């Protein structure tokens, strides 16, 4: 029975990352049915319970070392692990786990990683030093491949695939639970606009803009739902937008996890989002999207599904967001159809991540 250790941003109650882990596990178990999986997590009890895996604390270095010593493969990913926009600790930690695996002679697979931005000299040096020693790399967009090349990563094969969450089949996700959640909040009909907000650099201007356009939508008969993707990190920002509004908004605060959020996304008619995976959740169901990027990964995804670049959070204006909403609503049917077609193609790419893991196992005779 092959044994794999998965290292990523898990156990932090970020619905996007938890959905990514779920999608990875689904794909890996289908490709390698007898796989023995251990996940490194901030909350190993939560991760073990939610995903049916063995899980250990990502901060217990001795335990991580012991698990890697028993493993046949380290999977690093998915997601934006190798970036220093939020600080240098991310690169140091994740590459530290990779270096430990390589020290033990274990093969390493970078799984659907989103690379960059990497601005520090230390970050660029560490990626060049460590990533050139892994065995196989898949990245979720072409820009991530180009970023690796610019960082001096030359040795391992690099395959462009797609974010693991895009591998989920929306036909297997139940929109009924989402309808129940919306009903419990008091929704009684009318189109629903979901807005994903997160804190960013202490700024507040974008929150005032979102509140104004949300008021406009309510005045036109819409219901506005504020969605905290990362609890409790996003909750305060969502409440701040609601408090700035004249009209009534709804806060999604009674869901239990990423599956509830996916189900709610299936019931949206418009998605306006800062968080990448909020937009991915909407795209899975053909929901017209407007991105408000705080990180290049958001525009990378919008480009992959044929949508225009987002409106940057630091310069967001009421006029430009209002105009973008008008344009999207005027072309909702065509946008929805285009998203469904693009996501269908990306689903095949996303599932190739696990296929490549299976091929690596065969090469290693595991």
Beta carbons within 10 angstroms of residue 302's beta carbon: 20
- φ, ψ at 196 (rounded to 5°): -100, 120
Q: What pLDDT sits at residue 253?
A: 85
In whole angstroms, give the CA distance from residue 305 to residue 314.
23
Q: Judge whether 84 and 91 are in contact, CB under 8 Å.
A: yes
3-state secondary structure of 31: helix
Domain ranges of the chain: 3-160, 170-345
In whole angstroms, give the CA distance from residue 78 to residue 81.
8
Q: What pLDDT sits at residue 77?
A: 96
By the 10 Å C-beta count (0-12 exposed, 13-18 middle, 19+ buried), 156 is classed as: middle
Q: What pLDDT sits at residue 349?
A: 98
pTM: 0.97
Quick one: fold of 3-160? Rossmann fold (3.40.50)
Which residue pairs, CB below 8 angstroms and at least 24 apart, start in 183-191? 184/254, 185/225, 185/250, 185/252, 185/254, 186/250, 187/223, 187/250, 190/221, 190/222, 190/223, 191/221, 191/222, 191/223, 191/269, 191/270
Two structure tokens written together for 339? 């998203």
Dump pLDDT digits (tens) for 49-107. Answer: 999 999 999 999 999 999 999 999 999 999 999 998 777 799 999 999 999 999 999 99
pLDDT in tens, the chain (366 residues): 899 999 999 999 999 999 999 999 999 999 999 999 999 999 999 999 999 999 999 999 999 999 999 999 999 999 999 998 777 799 999 999 999 999 999 999 999 999 999 999 999 999 999 999 999 999 999 999 999 999 999 989 899 999 999 999 999 899 999 999 999 999 988 999 999 999 999 999 999 999 999 999 999 999 999 999 998 899 999 999 999 999 999 999 877 799 999 999 999 999 999 999 999 999 999 999 999 999 999 999 999 999 999 999 999 999 999 999 999 999 999 999 999 999 999 999 999 999 999 999 999 887
Dump pLDDT digits (tens) for 24-54. Answer: 999 999 999 999 999 999 999 999 999 999 9
Please give the distance of CA 11 from its chain centroid, rounded to a whole number. 14
In whole angstroms, give the CA distance from residue 118 to residue 83.
5
> Cis link prior to 196 (omega < 30° from 0)?
no
Instruction: With CA atoms as reference, report the closest residue to 168 among 282, 248, 63, 73.
Output: 282
CATH superfamily of domain region 170-345: Glycogen Phosphorylase B; (3.40.50.2000)
Q: Judge whether 266 and 173 are in contact, CB under 8 Å.
A: yes
Instruction: With CA atoms as reference, report the closest residue to 97 among 17, 5, 3, 2.
Output: 5
> Concatenated DSSP letters for 218-238?
HHTT-EEEEE-SBTTTTHHHH
CA angle, residues 129, 135, 141, in degrees to nearest 5: 85
Q: What pLDDT sits at residue 63?
A: 98
């Amino acid at each position: 029975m092959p044994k794999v250790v998965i290292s990523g941003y898990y156990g932090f109650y970020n619905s996007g990352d938890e959905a990514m882990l779920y999608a990875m596990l689904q794909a890996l178990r289908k490709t390698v049915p007898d796989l023995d999986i251990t996940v490194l997590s901030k909350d190993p009890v939560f991760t073990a319970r939610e995903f049916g895996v063995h899980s250990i604390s990502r901060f217990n270095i001795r335990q991580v070392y012991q698990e890697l010593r028993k493993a046949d493969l380290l999977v690093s990913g998915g997601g934006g692990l190798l970036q220093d926009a939020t600080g240098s600790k991310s690169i140091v930690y994740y590459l530290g786990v990779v270096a430990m695996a390589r020290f033990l002679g274990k093969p390493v697979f970078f799984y659907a990683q989103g690379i960059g931005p990497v601005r520090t000299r230390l970050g660029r040096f560490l990626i060049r030093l460590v990533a050139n020693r892994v065995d196989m790399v898949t990245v979720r967009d072409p820009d991530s491949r180009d970023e690796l090349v610019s960082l001096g990563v030359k040795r391992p094969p690099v395959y462009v695939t797609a974010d693991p969450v895009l591998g989920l089949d929306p036909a297997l996700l139940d929109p009924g639970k989402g309808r129940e959640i919306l009903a419990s909040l008091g929704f009684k009909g009318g189109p629903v606009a979901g807005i994903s907000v997160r804190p960013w650099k202490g700024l507040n201007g974008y929150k005032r803009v979102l509140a104004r356009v949300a008021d406009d939508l309510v005045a036109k008969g819409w219901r506005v739902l504020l969605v905290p993707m990362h609890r409790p990190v996003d909750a305060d920002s969502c409440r701040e937008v609601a408090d700035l509004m004249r009209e009534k908004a709804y806060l999604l605060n009674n869901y239990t996890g990423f599956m509830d959020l996916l189900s709610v996304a299936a019931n949206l008619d418009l998605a306006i989002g800062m968080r990448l995976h909020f937009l991915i959740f909407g795209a899975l169901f053909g929901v017209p999207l407007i991105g408000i990027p705080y990180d290049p990964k958001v525009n990378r995804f919008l480009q992959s599904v044929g949508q225009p670049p987002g409106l940057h959070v630091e310069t967001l204006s009421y006029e430009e967001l209002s105009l973008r909403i008008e344009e999207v609503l005027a072309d909702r049917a065509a946008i929805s159809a285009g998203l469904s077609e693009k996501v269908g193609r990306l689903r095949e790419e996303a599932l190739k991540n696990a296929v490549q893991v299976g091929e690596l196992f065969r090469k290693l005779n595991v």
